[in-house]
């Protein structure tokens, strides 16, 4: 029994009653004692009967519990279709089935009190020997709430489903006494209009699945009020956004806002949480934040490989696979993310099964800058080939199918573009594609193929094959489809852009392709693909057409403001694929004669991809003396990160006070090693924000902990960044100290330079 549970309390009461009876019997005789025992037994029987009746009215009926169990099974089975391992003999436990299909290993994690994880003095919460699933289920069982935070592919959805399955097992085994869990994929909600006039409980009921929503309303209200229903919400960063031109506009639909008032676990990407969610009042109901950490080789990677090989009935391949994974130390970062680990092991197993001896000649475990993109590429190709083998009469070749799903990803990206909001929230009002839109994409794709192939294909056959044999899966919302994982969508979108750049294409089409800024996750994949292109081609990138295509955009006669975004994106990407001669031409001939916005893009590209911050240092100097350079730099980034709507200002700063999302992005650039060579620009940008009175007041009020962290960061020397870096960290430290009152002595540091 649970500590301090009803059984323990009953024993304590019984002992007290027995003591009373003994005293009364001693004072009044045996007959009186026997009478008292009879009276107490009668009262106990009545109390027990009333308690059992109360329990029956609190619990669902047997039929309702059976329907709920079917719902549990359906949720888990739909998720298991996304997992790579074969179905095992059913264990009778939903959680155990998920663990087997995923070759699950418990990831490392940290726990903080919600909203305080970013404070300098806030300690990590000690959870003892509990793993993340145990900790989360215990908290939810007590009516508390949690936010699960991690990077792309860190296993958030898997953990969410596993926590849901564990709660479902508990509910089934307790015959409905434990809290009833509900699982909601937030990317299936559809676009919502802001505001609601309904009761919050009615908003919650609108999101309940049918087997639960069919329970009488009064009972559902009572279950919600008594914390006997808890929610697992997956993908806060994938929620259809309702963000408008105003910072105060609602981002979260009313149904979800209402759910956040009940016991829940909600998953969210780390970057999205840091930039857009942390500090949002709508998400402050959580009691804890669980931060997922990178996997460790001995504790997670090696056990995962062993489980994976056993599940695939190839334990003999475990040793050569581990040898391949440990052959290059630079693979550690790739293997530290569960999704990348799973895809890497899948690719390796596929190659080893074909021919173990020639593994090295077919898969390049180089650990290079483009390795993530290479793994995605090989994983997707292996998936398509495997699905091709399952079809009795395949319609499309894997290469054709890959080209088509890239077009589908592009359609999903283009559909929801809005002009009244910034780009930073990745303004996809819906990450799904409707059936009619999917059919339209297939028709357009067929029309672009050679005539002899197009005439041999049936629209219905291609639609059926795309529906059943690709990464698109039927969504929980009728007649809509989504990619099995958000990162597949992001990779395929980047690959579509890369393929368009790599083949002969007219300049106008390249400009149209680059007119809209891509979110960070897509840009990261695109940069990796371009690095891969450069590595495979040596210094002769012209064979792929990318260098020529990007140069044409920069040389285009139309240098008006209507093409300025395409030109700046081309200028930012070109240093990745440029030959040495092109880089020299770019820095000495193109950059000096271009708009400051374009010079900024070239400087950032050189700093990020060639560790050359000389152009960037020159641009940082411009920010204090050139109002146009400063306005475009601040305006574009405020638009990109969602602090300023895209409007007639043409990427110039509109002077508004909102800057917290851009500020948080700058903080990440200062703190993360991958952005080392643009750190000087980030320091200068924060200084410019603090020099504006309205923005200064906003940041001092809302971002004090981050400003204190930046003050510490200003004390870090870096010889490779030179005098410009020293000057900017000194200037920023002085501005922060003058704006923050009551700093502890440990933060009043001296970063003055000679």
What pLDDT score does 750 carry? 53
Q: Which strands, in side-by-side order, build the sheet including 433-434?
A: 433-434, 480-483, 472-474
In the predicted model, is pLDDT for residue 298 greater than 80? yes
What pLDDT score does 113 carry? 87
Residue % of the chain over a pLDDT of 70: 75
Residue 683, class by beta-carbon neighbours within 10 Å (0-12 exposed, 13-18 middle, 19+ buried)? buried
What is the rounded average pLDDT of the residues 231-238? Answer: 87
For 31-78, the pLDDT digits (tens) are 666 666 666 677 666 666 555 554 444 578 888 899 999 999 999 988
190: confidence class by pLDDT, cuts 50, 70, 90: low
In the predicted model, is pLDDT for residue 474 greater than 90? no
* More confident position, 342 or 242: 342
Residue with tokens 């509109």: 654
Residue with tokens 């770019």: 586
For 246-294, the pLDDT digits (tens) are 333 445 667 778 888 889 999 988 877 777 665 555 556 788 999 999 9
Q: What is the residue-averaged pLDDT of the chain?
A: 80
Integer angstrom CA distances of residue 291 from 150, 593, 703: 6, 46, 20
For 356-411, the pLDDT digits (tens) are 554 443 333 333 344 677 777 877 887 787 677 766 677 888 888 899 999 999 98
In the predicted model, is pLDDT for residue 210 greater than 80? yes
In the predicted model, is pLDDT for residue 194 greater than 60? no
What pLDDT score does 110 carry? 93
What pLDDT score does 329 carry? 61
Query: Domain segments of the chain: what residues?
Result: 6-58, 62-292, 299-367, 398-484, 624-754
What is the C-alpha separation between 585 and 651, in angstroms, rounded?
27
CA 707 to chain centroid: 25
DSSP run (H or E) holding 183: strand 180-185
Residue % of the chain over a pLDDT of 90: 31
- Inter-helix orientation angle 660-671/693-702, to 10°: 70
Q: Which of 174, 183, 178 is nearest to 73 (CA)?
A: 183
What is the C-alpha separation between 386 and 13, in angstroms, rounded?
65
What pLDDT score does 261 carry? 85
Q: Which range has highest mean pLDDT (35-44, 319-328, 383-392, 693-702)?
A: 693-702
In the predicted model, is pLDDT for residue 117 greater than 90? no
* More confident position, 405 or 321: 405
What pLDDT score does 243 carry? 36
What is the rounded average pLDDT of the residues 493-510? Answer: 86
What pLDDT score does 429 carry? 44
Report the predicted TM-score, pTM, of the whole model to 2 decimal places: 0.65
What pLDDT score does 373 carry? 77
221: confidence class by pLDDT, cuts 50, 70, 90: confident
What pLDDT score does 326 carry? 78
For 119-168, the pLDDT digits (tens) are 545 678 999 999 999 999 999 999 999 999 998 788 999 999 999 999 99
| Partner residues linked to 466 by β-bridges | none
What pLDDT score does 219 carry? 87
268 secondary structure, DSSP code: E
What pLDDT score does 135 carry? 96
204: confidence class by pLDDT, cuts 50, 70, 90: confident
Q: Taking the alpha carbons of 641, 643, 648, 654 in that order, is the dihedral positive or negative?
A: negative
What pLDDT score does 192 carry? 43
Q: Which of 327, 328, 306 is nearest to 318 (CA)?
A: 306
Q: Which strands, in side-by-side order, build the sheet including 146-150?
A: 109-113, 288-292, 146-150, 264-269, 229-234, 180-185
Evaluate whether 657 touches 246 at the Cβ level (below 8 Å): no
What pLDDT score does 255 carry? 72
What is the rounded average pLDDT of the residues 598-613? Answer: 92
111: confidence class by pLDDT, cuts 50, 70, 90: very high
Counting Cα atoms < 13 Å in the Cβ hemisphere of 172 gives 18
For 712-753, the pLDDT digits (tens) are 999 999 989 989 999 999 999 999 988 887 665 555 545 554
451: confidence class by pLDDT, cuts 50, 70, 90: confident
24: confidence class by pLDDT, cuts 50, 70, 90: low
Counting Cα atoms < 13 Å in the Cβ hemisphere of 119 gives 10
- Pick the range with the lowest mean pLDDT from 302-306, 326-330, 433-437, 694-698: 326-330
530: confidence class by pLDDT, cuts 50, 70, 90: confident
For domain 62-292, the CATH class is alpha beta
């Amino acid at each position: 029994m649970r500590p301090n549970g009803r059984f323990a309390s009953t024993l304590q009461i019984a002992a007290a009653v027995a003591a009373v009876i003994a005293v009364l019997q001693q004072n009044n005789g045996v007959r009186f004692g026997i009478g008292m025992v009879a009276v107490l037994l009668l009262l106990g029987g009545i109390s027990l009967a009333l308690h059992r009746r109360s329990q029956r009215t609190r619990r669902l009926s047997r039929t309702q519990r059976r329907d709920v169990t079917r719902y549990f099974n359906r949720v888990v089975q739909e998720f298991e279709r996304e997992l790579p391992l074969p179905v095992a003999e059913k264990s009778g436990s939903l959680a155990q089935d998920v663990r087997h299909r995923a070759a699950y290993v418990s990831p490392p994690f940290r726990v903080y009190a919600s909203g305080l994880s970013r404070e300098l003095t806030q300690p990590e919460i000690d959870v003892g020997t509990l793993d993340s699933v145990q900790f989360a289920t215990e908290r939810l069982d007590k009516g508390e709430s949690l936010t699960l935070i991690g990077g792309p592919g860190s296993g958030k959805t898997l953990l969410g489903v596993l926590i849901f399955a564990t709660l479902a097992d508990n509910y089934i085994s307790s015959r409905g006494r434990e809290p009833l869990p509900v699982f909601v994929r937030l990317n299936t909600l559809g676009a919502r209009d802001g505001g609601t006039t309904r009761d919050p409980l009615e908003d919650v009921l609108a999101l309940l699945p049918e087997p639960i929503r069919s329970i009488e309303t009064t009972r559902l209200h009572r279950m919600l009020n008594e914390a006997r229903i808890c929610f697992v919400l997956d993908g806060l960063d994938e929620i259809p956004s309702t963000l408008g031109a105003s910072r105060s506009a609602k981002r979260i639909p009313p149904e979800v806002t209402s759910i956040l008032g009940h016991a829940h676990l909600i998953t969210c990407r780390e970057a999205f949480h840091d930039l857009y969610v942390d500090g949002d009042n709508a998400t402050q109901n959580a009691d804890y934040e669980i931060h997922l950490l990178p996997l460790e080789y001995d504790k997670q990677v090696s056990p995962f490989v062993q489980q994976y090989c056993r599940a695939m009935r190839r334990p003999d391949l475990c040793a050569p696979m581990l040898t391949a994974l440990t052959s290059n130390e630079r693979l550690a970062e790739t293997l530290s993310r569960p999704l990348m680990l799973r895809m890497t092991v899948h690719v390796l197993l596929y190659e080893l099964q074909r021919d173990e001896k020639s593994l090295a000649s077919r898969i390049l475990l180089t650990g290079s800058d483009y390795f993530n993109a290479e793994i995605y590429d090989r994983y997707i190709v292996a998936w398509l080939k495997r699905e091709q083998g399952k079809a009795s009469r395949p319609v499309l070749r894997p290469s054709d199918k890959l080209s088509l799903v890239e077009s589908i990803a592009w359609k999903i990206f283009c559909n929801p573009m809005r002009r009244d909001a910034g780009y930073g929230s990745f303004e996809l009002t819906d990450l799904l594609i409707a059936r009619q839109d999917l059919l339209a994409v297939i028709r357009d794709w067929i029309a672009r193929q050679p005539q002899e192939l197009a005439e041999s294909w049936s629209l219905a056959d291609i639609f059926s094959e795309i529906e059943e044999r690709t990464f698109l899966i039927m969504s929980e919302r009728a007649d809509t489809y989504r990619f099995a994982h958000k990162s597949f969508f992001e990779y395929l979108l980047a690959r579509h852009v890369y393929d368009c750049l790599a083949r002969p294409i007219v300049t106008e089409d390249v400009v149209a392709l680059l007119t809209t800024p891509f979110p960070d996750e897509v840009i990261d994949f695109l940069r990796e693909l371009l690095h891969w292109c450069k590595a495979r081609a040596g210094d002769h990138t012209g064979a792929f057409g990318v260098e020529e295509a990007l140069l044409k955009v920069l040389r285009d006669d139309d240098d008006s403001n209507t093409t300025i975004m395409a030109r700046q994106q081309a200028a930012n990407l070109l240093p990745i694929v440029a030959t040495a001669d092109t880089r020299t031409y770019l820095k000495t001939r193109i950059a000096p004669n271009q708009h400051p916005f374009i010079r900024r893009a070239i400087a950032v590209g050189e700093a990020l991809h060639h560790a050359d911050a000389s152009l960037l240092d020159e641009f940082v100097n411009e920010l204090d003396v050139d109002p146009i350079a400063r306005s475009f730099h601040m305006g574009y980034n405020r638009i990109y990160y969602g602090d300023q709507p895209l409007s007639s200002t043409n990427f110039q700063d509109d002077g508004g006070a909102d800057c917290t999302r851009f500020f948080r992005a700058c903080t990440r650039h200062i703190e993360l090693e991958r952005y080392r060579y643009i750190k000087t620009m980030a320091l200068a940008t924060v200084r410019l924000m603090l020099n504006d009175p309205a923005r200064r007041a906003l940041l001092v009020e809302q971002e004090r902990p981050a400003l204190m962290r930046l003050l510490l960061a200003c004390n870090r020397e870096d010889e490779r960044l030179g005098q410009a870096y020293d000057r900017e960290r000194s200037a920023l430290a002085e501005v922060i100290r003058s704006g923050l009152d009551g700093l502890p002595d440990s933060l009043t540091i001296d970063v003055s330079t000679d």
